[in-house]
A and B are shown apart, each in its own frame.
Chain A
């Protein structure tokens, strides 16, 4: 009986000990979650020591990459390790076309790194020259993110001539080549993501982007109305309500994304949702320049003007009445 009690005590103590240890380990793991991803394995080692199962390892790492992207989407929104993850996966399985496709979309639209997105897709084309999806994604990046119609048309033509593309790709290629209806092409591309993406985050972004197209078109219509106002009154409107008062438009325009239409200092009607989106894109580019400066000189620039010696053109704040607020202690820009 005594032995039994002692044994049970030992077992209970052991379980208590392992539970405490497990809790401490979990707490430390949670604290260092970002560092954990830093140990994302090196593809050269993995390729050699997966006993020929690199394709399966690529599948598993792709799931890990999706989890990481989702975490960042709902968290810091930095996607620092995304390029490395995608490079590792595509080097392990160079024929994994969906990783090039969705990875490039993540890089361009979430991390806002168009160069990395295009580089990834170009490497995909080297390994999968018969897949129309890859030049199609490059065209999409040029049109949607860089607003470069000429390069978009070039790559869309490549997609239309590669493999067996669906009819809409051929039609868009024609559209782009004729340089007509670019907004329709852009809308179609986002709709294609809404219809075919399995990722709710991507669908959410695409839905927002479609609304942004409508807001851009609304700005164009409002500026045409402002031009008519100026022609009849001899001065630019001071506010949008002036257009309503002059019966040029029937009511105040509404932004479904919560932004506002306003007349800027130059008398041009703009929308805060569109400007905020541009602001974020340009901020990321500017912080990229600052990081490059730090990598080269070993310190953050004291002012943003120092960057002008290294980079020809710095992105400007899309709000005419605002300047960038730079913190030389952290290299961040607001």
Chain B
């Protein structure tokens, strides 16, 4: 109940943030403007529109998750509003989780809104919006939740700017994990290969949530893949939130 109260307030506070509207505006502008690229291409105008629609949902969602998420806890400490909260009968982990779920609600609304606009736009242009398109949106949301959990963790540990840089770096590396297992032959039977294979499972694998190319090209994706990717995201996110709670418990405020 207390978690929900914090979540509700976090959501209301984030909704008032002007940065959110600027990002959503640019997201929608990119989405709607993608048709212009289709004009100068040869064929597959709808494919290009779908690509840019899903990319804008993802990119601007990640920017919101990073820039709003990394200041979630820090802002409360900086403005000293944290004291009015921690003096109440509320565990610190409840505060962290409340903050996280508030952001999750916000991202759910933004992703849902942009997703509906994207699907409607594709349909108006005569494109097919099938299950894969919605699976892609669902996995983008899961990716955003995982990025937000990183942002929440670093919001408890560092300043927003440093936190944003670290989370963005993790996001980039998390999309390049394929490199860790796709090694040249001369790595065979070396300890480096074993180490990099272990790292493959340690480093967050954001590419699990990327089925945007399949959605844009109308290539079907197995439901099992979507479910296991969501399970991966849920477990990783839970671990990060646990770490964020521990970090905030130990923080001297």
B172's partner among A47, A49, A54, A95 (CB-CB below 8 A) is A49
CB contact list, B163-186 vs A, under 8 A: 171-172, 175-176, 178-179
Tell me whether B175 and A48 are in contact (CB under 8 A): yes
Say whether B51 faces chain A, with CB atoms less than 8 Å apart. yes
Say whether A224 faces chain B, with CB atoms less than 8 Å apart. no
Given A56-B51, A56-B55, A62-B41, A97 and B217 touching (CB < 8 A)? Answer: yes
Inter-chain contacts of B52 with A (CB < 8 A):
56, 59
Say whether B43 faces chain A, with CB atoms less than 8 Å apart. yes
Q: Distance (Å) between the CB of B150 and the closest chain A CB? A: 14
Inter-chain contacts of B207 with A (CB < 8 A):
52
Tell me the dominant secondary structure on chain B's binding face.
helix
**Cβ contacts B53-75/A at 8 Å (1 or 0 each):** 00100110000000000000000
Tell me whether A66 and B41 are in contact (CB under 8 A): yes
Tell me whether A93 and B172 are in contact (CB under 8 A): no
The segment from B86-94, B208-216, B227-235 that touches chain A is B208-216
Complex CA distance for A93 and B210, rounded to whole angstroms:
12
Q: What is the size category of the interface that chain A forms with chain B?
A: 20 to 34
Complex CA distance for A47 and B212, rounded to whole angstroms:
14
Say whether A96 faces chain B, with CB atoms less than 8 Å apart. yes
B214's partner among A49, A50, A95 (CB-CB below 8 A) is A95
Inter-chain contacts of A148 with B (CB < 8 A):
none
Say whether A98 faces chain B, with CB atoms less than 8 Å apart. yes
A95's partner among B55, B210, B217 (CB-CB below 8 A) is B217
Say whether B219 faces chain A, with CB atoms less than 8 Å apart. yes
Given A55-B51, A66-B42, A96-B47, A49 and B213 touching (CB < 8 A)? Answer: no
Say whether A198 faces chain B, with CB atoms less than 8 Å apart. yes
Complex CA distance for A256 and B178, rounded to whole angstroms:
57
Q: Distance (Å) between the CB of A234 and the closest chain B CB? A: 57
Say whether B157 faces chain A, with CB atoms less than 8 Å apart. no
Q: Distance (Å) between the CB of A95 and the closest chain B CB? A: 4
Complex CA distance for A55 and B47, rounded to whole angstroms:
10
Say whether A51 faces chain B, with CB atoms less than 8 Å apart. yes
Residues of A in contact with B (beta carbons under 8 Å apart): 47-56, 58-60, 62-63, 66, 93-98, 101-102, 128, 197-199
Q: List 20 A-B contacts (CB under 8 A).
A: A49-B176, A51-B175, A51-B206, A52-B175, A53-B55, A55-B51, A55-B55, A56-B51, A56-B52, A56-B55, A59-B37, A66-B40, A66-B42, A95-B216, A95-B219, A98-B43, A101-B43, A102-B42, A128-B219, A198-B43
